[in-house]
Amino acid sequence: MEKSALQTDIQFLPGVGPKRAVLFRSELGVNTIGDFIRIYPFKYIDRSTITAIGAATPDMAYIQIKAKVVEISLFGASGSIEGDDVRFNTVKRMSVKVEDGTGYMEMVFFKGIKWMHSKLEPGEEYIFFGKPSIFNGRLNMVHPEVDKVQDGSQPGKMPGSSMTGVYPSTEKLRNGGITGKLMNKLMANALQTALPAIEETLPQRLLVEKGLVPIHFAIRNIHFPKDLTALEKARYRLKFEELFYLQLSLLKQKYVRSRNENGIRMPKIGDAFNKCYSSLPFRLTTAQKRVITEIRDDMKSGHQMNRLLQGDVGSGKTMVAVLSALIATGNGYQACIMAPTEVLAQQHFKNISKYLDGTGVRPALLTGSSRAAERREIHQGLEDGSIGIIVGTHALLEDNVIFRNLGLAIIDEQHRFGVEQRARLWRKSACGLAPHILVMTATPIPRTLAMTLYGDLDVSVIDELPPGRKPIQTIAATEGRRTAMFNFLKEQIKLGRQVFIVYPLIFESEKLDYKNLEKGYEQVVTAFPFPPYKTAIVHGQQSNEEKKFNMDAFAAGRANILVATSVIEVGVDVPNASVMVIESAERFGLSQLHQLRGRVGRGSEKSYCILMTGKKLSKESRHRIELMCATENGFELAEEDMKMRGPGDLEGTQQSGLPVELNIASLARDGLILNDARQCAQAVLDEDPVLGKAENRLLAEEISRDKYKVRNYSQIS
């Protein structure tokens, strides 16, 4: 069989054709038969068992019934349709009564009635496959799959396989007639056509070493498993292969870059660093000191630093950023700190200016709302080198922002920046070498996800909170306790504390969300009238000036309450705020709830987070709320979040998906396989870092495929 069978356009697979091919392309990204074979079932149904009607109950999953058709009835808009001369365009429902000796059951059809009516004959026996349910006290199945009982074989099944795969689907696919049964039939055709053309993708030595089954066995048994053991072997092999090549690709990138000598060498510490360090009003934690040492080692090594700094909310990342920037200025280079929002950029600038006082290093702030005169002065200061550290937003990427000698770029909450935007920043280094890169995130990232999203970066973790930080008490409450909650807020305000009240903002229903926000604001203002209370409001539809005015009023203590959308999630630091109320908390993801909770507990007083929810919560939402009340550990919560929601959307907000498409492996569930695959990949590269040896030819070819070209968030320089 020629290899071209895999490259054959999907429309030429028997049973597909041009119309269905369009659906496969748009809905599943399938262009060729090879693509189609790599669409794997996400669950399996055992089709070897026949359930007696008398034993069937509505709480069962999909079952098979072997029964004889007793009676077929057709119904129109006004009732039963009698006679032989039936106009099927007037038929709305078909009821098929069947029996198997243990009882009777009704099969109901609302679509494809004419075709199904011609297929079924009273007195004949059929196999019906579907989900049992109860309607008007009678057991039924709606739109079951139907097969004539003949030689025991079933369409869309491989000989010897008793399990049927259930494939990913969409409403458009189902409406286009691409049912689960048809998918199985098409897959059987695809394997018959193209399985011989699939070549082994892993070297023989690895198959033997890891006890992996060959590719043909794996592909056949992932689609049509011989039994559970064969399915597990197939699944493990395909997951291992996918994760092994992903890690091999990332580690090879990391190796190539780490051997690149063209990094800016920064051997000195400098007076500014020492002055800042010695005048700090607090002691750095052991974790902060360890991370600064790791960063310093990178910056003096002569290689370009590419480091991810993970630290939970309030762990002191900003201090690490300041000291890292001062290493750069102490060696005659400039540093920039890039933030995703103006609020966060202003917050950073305020804190950093405080730390730089007395060091002789000049900081500046550049955002979209910087005035023309300020901009001219800043541009001049960056070009002549008099500005040592610049804090800014996307405004730093503008073409007219030119550095004299940018040596360090620090990016905060970096997943909010696109690869192209960051690449523009790297090109601003005037010394011909890419700047050192420090990527910071307060979103705790589960280890398996960090190894994939940031697999080619060195990772530092601040896993220790500064001394004196008190635990935040987290409480769940429903609408019935709102009056008690408002009374508690009044007590806190009486003690001189301040309060955040946050409303969710979900992109699909912005208008509704703003309506909820306004309604909530009115409710708060009614409960907390002026005087003596003062309530400020911040949301995305305000101008930057309005936002800044209200935020400043709250930060300065002129307002007791700040009502906001989750715009305040990142970067608001108000030590006097001791209560965070999160409305409709069930609409937020775990990581986002944790980020919001981290806005309080920054002072010396006991702090509280109150999660307001509806009465009727899904099982998953209830679990999220219980976890929030049980732990403050961001990494534990992130692991749970990924298990519950999958790895592609860790914050509950719209953001990029994973850097590669995983067909079968799951970062949430396959951590052990990922670790094993990474160790294997590392062992291969330790022996042959550039995969140049003849025995690694297959590996080099495989990672050159588009699938493993990582669209990496961390793609630096």
Q: How far apart are CA 623 and CA 645, in angstroms?
A: 12
DSSP E strand boundaries for 160-255: 163-166
Q: CB neighbours (10 Å) of residue 361? A: 26
**Bridge partners of 504?**
none
Closest CA to 648 of 657, 637, 659, 661: 657
pLDDT of res. 1: 37
- Separation in Å, CA 46 to CA 139, 167, 173, 238, 528: 21, 15, 24, 22, 61
Tokens of 88: 């099927």
- Asked whether 447 and 310 are in contact (CB, 8 A), the reply is no
- Please name the residue ranges forming H helices in 331-418: 342-356, 372-384
pLDDT of res. 638: 73
The pairing of beta strand 535-538 with beta strand 561-565: parallel
DSSP 435: P
Q: How far apart are CA 201 and CA 219, in angstroms?
A: 12
DSSP letter for each residue of 637-688: HHHHHHHHH-TT-SSSS-----SS--SS--TTT-HHHHHHHHHHHHHHHHH-
pLDDT of res. 707: 65
Which of helix, strand or coil describes residue 280?
A: coil
DSSP letter for each residue of 488-552: HHHHHHHTT-EEEEEE---GGGHHHHHHHHHHHHHHHHHHSPTTT--EEEE-TTS-HHHHHHHHH
Sign of CA dihedral 144, 145, 148, 150: negative
Cα-based angle 405, 409, 411 (whole degrees, multiple of 5): 160
Closest CA to 57 of 144, 147, 139: 139
- Asked whether 53 and 104 are in contact (CB, 8 A), the reply is yes
Angle at which helices 215-223 and 180-194 cross, to 10° = 160
pLDDT of res. 492: 95
Cα-based angle 78, 80, 81 (whole degrees, multiple of 5): 100
- Name every residue whose Cβ is closer than 8 Å to that of residue 373 and which is 6 or more positions away in sequence: none
Q: How far apart are CA 382 and CA 396, in angstroms?
A: 11
pLDDT of res. 161: 60
Q: How far apart are CA 529 and CA 486, in angstroms?
A: 12
The model's pTM: 0.61
DSSP 421: H
Q: Mean pLDDT in each 10-residue stretch from start to end of the chain (717 residues)?
A: 76 93 92 93 80 89 89 88 80 93 93 87 90 88 83 50 80 84 92 92 93 96 92 95 90 75 86 93 91 95 87 83 96 92 85 92 93 93 95 87 92 63 68 84 70 72 77 92 95 94 66 72 93 89 83 90 72 81 89 84 86 88 91 77 56 38 77 87 91 90 72 40
H/E run at residue 289: helix 286-299
Determine if residue 279 is left, alpha or beta; phi over 0 gives left, psi from -120 to 50 gives alpha, anything else beta.
alpha
Tokens of 212: 């992996």
Domains of the chain (ranges plus CATH)? 1-44+171-198 (1.10.150.20), 48-153 (2.40.50.140), 271-291+316-441 (3.40.50.300), 472-631 (3.40.50.300)
pLDDT of res. 568: 59
- Asked whether 659 and 715 are in contact (CB, 8 A), the reply is no
DSSP letter for each residue of 544-583: HHHHHHHHHHHHTTS-SEEEEEGGGTTT---TTEEEEEET
- Name every residue whose Cβ is closer than 8 Å to that of residue 665 and which is 6 or more positions away in sequence: 238, 239, 242, 243, 673, 674
Q: How far apart are CA 487 and CA 492, in angstroms?
A: 9
Q: How far apart are CA 237 and CA 233, in angstroms?
A: 6
pLDDT of res. 24: 94
